[in-house]
Structure 1
Amino acid sequence: MKKLTLTLAVIALLLTACTGTATPAPTVEPATQAETNPSVVTAEGKLLPAPAVELAFAQGGVVAEVLAQPGDKVAAGEVLARLIGIETVQAELAAGKLEQVNAQVVLDQLQRNALLTASQSEKALLDAQKAYESESNGWNLGNIDDATDLELTLDDYVTAEQDYRDARDKLTSLLDKDETNRERKDAQDDFDSEKKALAETYADLLESIADNDQPLDEEQVTLLNAIAALEVARQNQSRLDAQNLDPEKLAAAEARLAAATTHVTAAEAALELYELRAPFAGTVLSFDLTAGEAALPGLPVAFLADTAVWTVETKDLAEIDIASVSLGQTASIKLDAFPGEEFPATVTAIDPVGQEYLGDMTYKVTLTLDEGDPRFMWNMTATVNVDVK
């Protein structure tokens, strides 16, 4: 009986195949536009105040004092804590600032007294010229064959000085003429030549004085003193620049001020290593620090934030969705801490650099909440739904 039943089943199957009737294949419905282009992009993220920062000492040390507590509102630049040893750095800073003030005073006085310096220099030169004229008018070399090398050189200087003055006076009388005037140009060339000759003669005189082994009489001493005073006055005046400042004194004053400023900058940098300051105005959310304990460099001990504005940063927004997100789009934020509540937000930043997260390439998107809430806390888990229609 079993064989008969199996045979009938096979015959029935063959008859079905011969008829060419097949079971219709299931049809695949095309995906709707809503499924291929979703109107909402969803991602996970965390709630953060903006701005917010973790604070740590730049160097290690023992905590001297703690000046803030969690919940305190602090101003930008306010000191929150200090390390032991800061007094030495503060003394260095104070000394540097005092030297900076003194150096600035010297520079200011030099610049304020520029006109006085110029007038004093001019008067000194006039007085030196009169003294020289008084002494040189009585100079007489005498018998040239009996003269010493010093006397000969001294006589050469008197002659060179007179030639210099004659050339100077002639040039002065022609200064009202144009610089291209031939007579003035010749006078300028003659003056430059006599000025150079006088400088060379003065150098020879100094050398003769150094080599002289003969005693000097009163006339020679008096004339040499007058020449020395004249040359010093002339050099002092020639050193003044267009602002009537002595370049050497100006350079010394500026160098002193620069050194003092560098000292202050170094002391301020050292002071920063001993202090923990608030980089902006905000609220101290936590402060894990007590006086007397050791602080490690770079280890966060405080969390500071401006809780007036809150943001959410996504962590798993995949590259397949990032193309749909743009600045200004609206979104709703759900926080695990407040089931059933939604908080409106706006896309305010998109990081163009992707980061791998759980095997996928993701992009960080920052959303700013429209309003804050006193219940918000740092790093609350958030679900972001961005309206990308």
Structure 2
Amino acid sequence: MTTKRLLLSIGIVLVLSGLGYWGYLQFLAPGTENAGNTAVTTPADQPPTAITAEGRIVPLAQANLTFLGNGIVTAVAVQPGDFAEKGATLLTLDTAEQEIDLQQAEAAMAQVQANVQLAEVGVLLAETAVTAAEVAVSQAEANYALLAALPTEAQLALNEALVGAAEANVGLAIGNQSVTLEGSSAAQVRAAEAMVAAAEAAYIAVRDTYEPIVQDEDALAEDREQAQLQLNAALANLQSAQAALEEVQAGASSAAQLAVTGGVQAAQNEQAAAEAELALLQAGIQEERLAIAQAEVEAAQQQLAEARLQIDLAETAVTQVEAAVQEAQTQVDAAQLGLENRTLTAPFSGTVADVLVNVGETVTVGQPVAIVADLSGWQVETTDLIEADVVEIAHDDVAQVQIDAFADQPLAGRVVEIAELAAEVRGDQTYVVTLALPESDLSLRWGMSVFITIERNQ
């Protein structure tokens, strides 16, 4: 018998057996009757069924690390299997561009800080100008008030006294002029000659006393120095007396004559001014002078208003440069952060599971370069839990976890997290449920397959 015939015979037998069993159920099997107190079993009366799902072993925490910028790897500080503390350096990228950015940002910050100082100085200068303008307004107003008031007897008496003093100064200046222009008297010449004679006698006495000491090479250096000083002083005194005699004999110089002549003119000008002021007081208020004083008041007030406006402008400038400081600080912070981001650090304390790049490689933004995991404990994540089952699960539900590699040693798991967002797996909407595992002696490994059983509606 060939194989083909054998298979055909087996198929015929199976079909006939099925038809026979169906006929028995339809015509020969005893019926079931529901009567009296006989209970009918319904789905609600059945015991709760279990929710099952597949999953895998995962560490307590894991991170696929990436850089936030493109660059060339310049250093790899760890190897797979190394333990890294939180914040420890793992990899670094080239930093030349970021260092330049930081230097430029810091230079810009220094400039705007200098601008702040200049703006603050501008405010101080404007405030000083306001103070000066206020003083000028007060002076102008006081001058106007003085002109507007009628002169008192005391004012008239004071100005008359000033005119008298000016006249006396003119007389004194004229007298000095006469003495200077007339030249020196015989008595002045004789007195100057006597001063020269006395200086000559003193010089001869000093020379006779100290010149031998100066010329004595065996004398002490200190004694010779003191003797020379005495000689120099006596000679200077003699020369001064001779110069005075020559000046007396020559009479007043042209400069002195001009000076005394100018003094007379100045005294006469002062007298004229005092007489004019007295005449104005005696004449009473003059409308022209009042108008000038009023104009001076208005000008001072205008200058004060402009000075106050300059304060507002200076304070606005300060506000603007302070805003520029904030912007510059933002640029510095961004540049600093960009430099810091060239160094990849461990986000938590854990084991380096893998390093995916080498020194000299170019990486791009978002490219995984290292994996760090907390292998101090293990947990389970489901991979195929569908939406119809996830609604029946709650936090702290207990589950039996059957690990494929340790089929005869199930563990008790506890639900610690239920994902809010679904993922589509083979056309089904699935949710990841995380279960905590107790400590055990099992040699668990990342990625081991498990089978999870959770009693529905616990």
TM-score by length of 2: 0.50
8 Å contact kept, 1:310–1:372: no
In structure 2, what is the Cα distance between the partners aligned to 1:278 and 1:374? 28
Is 2:163 the counterpart of 1:158?
no
Given candidates 75, 82, 85, the residue that maps to 2:92 is 82
Q: SS where residue 409 of structure 2 aligns?
A: coil
2:453 is matched with which residue? 385
1:205 is matched with which residue? none
Question: Which structure's CA Rg is the greater one?
Answer: 2
State the 1:81 CA deviation. Answer: 1.3
In structure 2, what is the Cα distance between the partners aligned to 1:108 and 1:377? 64
Equivalent position amino acid for 2:296 in 1: V
8 Å contact kept, 2:48–2:455: no
State the 1:363 CA deviation. Answer: 2.5
Distance 1:292 1:327, change over 3 A: same
Backbone CA RMSD of aligned residues: 4.7
Equivalent position amino acid for 1:357 in 2: V
State the 1:353 CA deviation. Answer: 4.0
State the 1:107 CA deviation. Answer: 6.5
State the 1:90 CA deviation. Answer: 2.5
State the 1:267 CA deviation. Answer: 1.4
Q: SS where residue 262 of structure 1 aligns?
A: helix
2:79 is matched with which residue? 69
Distance 1:159 1:56, change over 3 A: closer
Equivalent position amino acid for 1:311 in 2: Q
Distance 1:123 1:337, change over 3 A: farther
1:325 is matched with which residue? 393
Residues 36-78 of structure 1, C-alpha deviations (whole Å, 9 max, x = no match):
622x322111222233111123344321111222233334444
In structure 2, what is the Cα distance between the partners aligned to 1:283 and 1:313? 20
Tell me, which stretches of 5 or more residues in structure 2 are unaligned?
1-26, 34-39, 148-279, 281-285
8 Å contact kept, 1:308–1:372: no
8 Å contact kept, 2:141–2:297: no
Distance 1:326 1:132, change over 3 A: same
In structure 1, what is the Cα distance between the partners aligned to 2:364 and 2:96? 20
1:57 is matched with which residue? 67
State the 1:234 CA deviation. Answer: 3.8
The residue correspondences of 1:178-257 to structure 2 (distance < 5 A) are 202=302, 228=303, 230=304, 233-236=307-310, 239=312, 247-257=315-325
1:290 is matched with which residue? 358
The residue correspondences of 1:259-270 to structure 2 (distance < 5 A) are 259-270=327-338
Equivalent position amino acid for 2:52 in 1: T
8 Å contact kept, 2:89–2:343: yes
Q: Which has the higher helix share?
A: 2
Residues 320-371 of structure 1, C-alpha deviations (whole Å, 9 max, x = no match):
4323311111123232333423333211222244443334443321112233
- 276-285 or 101-110: bigger deviation: 101-110
State the 1:286 CA deviation. Answer: 1.3
Q: SS where residue 413 of structure 2 aligns?
A: strand
Distance 1:313 1:119, change over 3 A: same
The residue correspondences of 1:280-359 to structure 2 (distance < 5 A) are 280-359=348-427
Residues 103-157 of structure 1, C-alpha deviations (whole Å, 9 max, x = no match):
679869999x9x989986775455554676699889x9x997xxxxxxx9x8764
Q: SS where residue 339 of structure 2 aligns?
A: helix
Residues 249-285 of structure 1, C-alpha deviations (whole Å, 9 max, x = no match):
4313322312212212431453366333333333322
8 Å contact kept, 1:309–1:372: no
Given candidates 12, 35, 48, the residue that maps to 1:37 is 48
Q: SS where residue 254 of structure 1 aligns?
A: helix
8 Å contact kept, 2:353–2:372: yes
State the 1:316 CA deviation. Answer: 1.3
Q: SS where residue 63 of structure 1 aligns?
A: strand
Is 2:365 the counterpart of 1:277?
no
8 Å contact kept, 2:137–2:297: no
Distance 1:304 1:319, change over 3 A: same
8 Å contact kept, 1:124–1:233: no
In structure 1, what is the Cα distance between the partners aligned to 2:319 and 2:403? 66
Q: SS where residue 342 of structure 1 aligns?
A: strand
